Structure 1
Amino acid sequence: MGRKRKGRDISGWLVVDKPAGVTSTAVVNKVRWAFDAKKAGHAGTLDPDATGVLAVALGEATKTVPYITDALKAYEFTVRFGEATRTDDAEGDVIATSPLRPSDDDIKEALHGFVGEIMQVPPQFSAVKIDGERAYKLARDGEDIDLAARPLWVEELTLLDRPDEDHAVLMMVCGKGGYVRSIARDLGETLGCLGHVRTLRRIWSGPFSTDDALSLEQIDAMAKSSELDTFLKPLQTGLADLPELSCNAEAATRLRNGNPGKVITSGVDYGEECWVSLDGVPVAVGRYKAGEVHPTRVFVTT
């Protein structure tokens, strides 16, 4: 039998403004320590040198992580033209250069080809698995990696600023699985001048934005205190894109035991995914079928 993890049974979301030079895992560990929480996870990895919104789930909120992972996200990033790097960002060695530089109009025109449903090849230095191995490990070992293109939905991609001829600041709103480094690489290739990501910041992810985020310094200052608890968002924040249905106490018990439970419905289609609450407290997530919800995830919070 595994050892029971010590800590508080606390559930909810904390929005962190991740600094550069720190891994997403390190941020999760810091948050779990600060709350003395039993369980924590995050919704969407940021590269170590990237900054911005990292939504950290505690306790039962970890069951809602997939809904944030699947939600739209927005990134602001700077592309450096004229250089291709091994990692598609500023950390990698420069592997090719070009004297060409695009005009603003060239950039705006090229961006149209990166909006909508596109096919994207992940960077070689990425967490994509190949035969059970991470691509970045194979790349570090010098192996020639052939990564398959995968679909990505890009809602918006716009030019925000042009500080100089070598750089452009862009903003992208995209779905799950988007690699900003690939966008920069492919944009540079399309423009014939090469390119890589210089800086990257996630400005919002689903319902979470930098406006709500705490720095690691703030978390450190409030660690193990009731003050930090006040910044915790309820676990149902991660269910913002799903319709909410209510139920009575009897149905709540059935749902929490993994059985279908009757709900009060309003405009939910047969088979639609939704979440169920009792007096505002999340009970379960499941599929609506003929007056009942068949649970796929249940919550034990009270």
Structure 2
Amino acid sequence: MSKVWFITGTSKGFGRIWAEAALERGDRVVATARNAATLADLVERYGDNALALQLDVTDKPAVEAAVAKAHEHFGRLDVVVNNAGYGLFGMVEEVSEEQARAQLETNLFGALWVTQAALPFLRAQGSGHILQVSSIGGVNAFPIVGLYHASKWGLEGFSQSLAQEVAAFGIKVTLVEPTGFSTDWNGPSAVTAEPLEAYAELREQFAAARAARLGVRGNPEATGPAILKLVDADEPPLRLFLGAGTLDMIKAEYAKRIAEWEQWDDVAVAAHGIVEEVA
């Protein structure tokens, strides 16, 4: 049976690629973007299988209305993809209050509003799969994108809780964690804070390290089949990395964490205090 998708941020990048992958195989897609005009070609190519809606995910009432309209139009929702988001570049000290709040409003709260709006429909039908587009930066962190990490770590946290809360209703949750791909995440869609001279040397060092770490960027088009395989799985994972080198990176990161926790475990245990046994 064909699936009904609700995807945010489908004007370009992963959202567009995944919408097209779903439509190409005969699924139906509710595609949303801040500018609905960018979605006109999807409707032209795929006809009644595509519904284009204008949506700013930071507008909670608009999110609720869009999700309700999507459900009314197609009669169900099978896959909800929270893809809308952007990168904020700047050291923690450099980021303005406005920039920090805007980053969290889109990347974290936008996904939360869509998730909350979709859940009553998914619970009622006893099925559904929520895909939260996180990042390798949702399980690791680097300089210059601290507030971006904050938004993705927040998404990771509530989504892991959510997966446990909704499992009994037949609803699956997967955090999709891409590494570096040739999208415009760090291009026109990105926001950059005003740099401070104090961080100039670190900025140069990080840029060189990042270029060496990422190597050849992934091809976004290759993620389409992976996402289709994910949503077709009977038992999808809570987390799915996208891209080469991700597993090795996280193994190394967690090895460092465990070594440090073990080194300080005596302090941690001592901090528990003495618990007197009751006779």
Q: What is the TM-score of this pair, normalised by structure 2?
A: 0.25
Point out which structure has higher relative CO (alpha carbons under 8 A, 6+ apart): 1
The alignment's TM-score, normalised by the length of structure 1, stands at: 0.23
Please tell me whether Structure 1 or Structure 2 has the larger radius of gyration of its CA atoms: 1
Tell me which protein shows more helix as a share of its residues.
Answer: 2
Greater strand proportion: 1
